[in-house]
Structure 1
Amino acid sequence: MIFARLNENESQGILAEGVKKAIEFAKNNDLASFEKGQHVIDGDDLFVNIVEYTTTDPENRFWEAHKDYLDVHVPISGTEQIDLNFLSNLEKGEYQKEGDFQPAQGEKNTSVIMQPGDFLVCYPEDAHRTAVAVNGKPETVKKAIFKVKID
């Protein structure tokens, strides 16, 4: 997991090339103007899903991880909590190749509060539970989730 700010270029030197491309795209495009749905950037190697939802209690959300793609979460508007734990600490469900979805169950290890200007990179071992309301206060969030193909 990497949690950082979009404008902090010093830390971005360590990022994988596909993640760097996603961050540059986020910095150089008006993501707020993008419609909800999938937008192709570099074929199957890099695309972005624009989503919008209302945050809620953690009990109403689910854990997930991915094997084929890294997630790069970039909030556009609103604030959300993303709970995190290592996939190895959770009870895993059956991996669904279609959709690259690894369900899991268990408790969080830590959380990050995501606001516009932040980004979060989740690797295959990083299970995440998104759309959790900060301090129990539901909020509408619009977010870009870049999918970076793992070679």
Structure 2
Amino acid sequence: MVFGNIRDLKDFSWLESQVRKCFDYAQAHDLLSYEKGSHPIEGDDLFVNIVEYTTTTAGNRFWEAHRQYLDLHFMLRGPEQIDVNFIDNMEQKEFVEKDDFLPLEGDPNCSVVLNAGDFLLCYPKDAHRTAVQVGGPAAIKKAIFKIKI
């Protein structure tokens, strides 16, 4: 996984070209004005999901990972805590191929807090639990770029 802020993109020039394409898209479009839902960029190979929700306690959330897509969580309005671990440290449930969803159970290895401009890039071995509150519930808006691998 990779954690950073869009203001520091020059430090991430080594990232895959499809990931850099997401940052270019984010800088060229006003994602805060986008409606909730899925927005195509390059068909099924690259698209962005805009989500809005209220964060909650970790106990109300679930763990997940993906095999077919990288997730690039890009915070538009936060804060949100995302708990992370490696899938090999977790109890893996049955993979749901049609949804590219690997449910997991376990404990966090660590957590990151995303505020506006922050991002978290999750690879297939990266378990993540999103929508965890920081201090208390907060309404957030986030872009999740889905990058086919």
Instruction: Report TM bin, short chain.
Output: over 0.9
Deviation, structure 1 residue 109: 0.2
Deviation, structure 1 residue 7: 1.5
Aligned residue identity for 2:100? D
Task: Give the distance between the partners of 2:31 and 2:17, measured in 1 at CA.
Answer: 20
- Asked if 1:63 is matched to 2:48, the reply is no
Question: Residue 51 of structure 1 corresponds to which residue in structure 2?
Answer: 51
Runs (5+) with no aligned partner, structure 1: none
Aligned residue identity for 2:51? V
Runs (5+) with no aligned partner, structure 2: none
Please show how residues 10-25 of structure 1 align to structure 2 within 5 Å.
10-25=10-25
Deviation, structure 1 residue 14: 1.1
Deviation, structure 1 residue 12: 2.0
Task: Give the distance between the partners of 1:106 and 1:65, measured in 2 at CA.
Answer: 13
Deviation, structure 1 residue 106: 0.4
- Asked if 1:102 is matched to 2:95, the reply is no
Deviation, structure 1 residue 11: 2.1
Question: Residue 113 of structure 1 corresponds to which residue in structure 2?
Answer: 113
- Asked if 1:149 is matched to 2:133, the reply is no
Deviation, structure 1 residue 24: 1.0
Task: Give the distance between the partners of 2:11 and 2:63, measured in 1 at CA.
Answer: 27
Aligned residue identity for 1:26? A
- Asked if 1:134 is matched to 2:134, the reply is yes
Q: What's the TM-score once normalised by structure 1's chain length?
A: 0.97
Aligned residue identity for 1:142? K
- Asked if 1:122 is matched to 2:118, the reply is no
| SS in structure 1 of the partner of residue 39 of structure 2 | strand
Task: Give the distance between the partners of 2:44 and 2:130, measured in 1 at CA.
Answer: 23
Aligned residue identity for 2:71? D
Please show how residues 18-37 of structure 1 align to structure 2 within 5 Å.
18-37=18-37
Aligned residue identity for 1:67? R
Cα-to-partner distance string for 1:114-136 (whole Å, 9 max, x where unaligned) = 0111111000000000000012x
| SS in structure 2 of the partner of residue 85 of structure 1 | strand
Cα-to-partner distance string for 1:74-128 (whole Å, 9 max, x where unaligned) = 1111210000000000000100001100000000000000011111100000000
Deviation, structure 1 residue 10: 2.3
| SS in structure 1 of the partner of residue 112 of structure 2 | strand
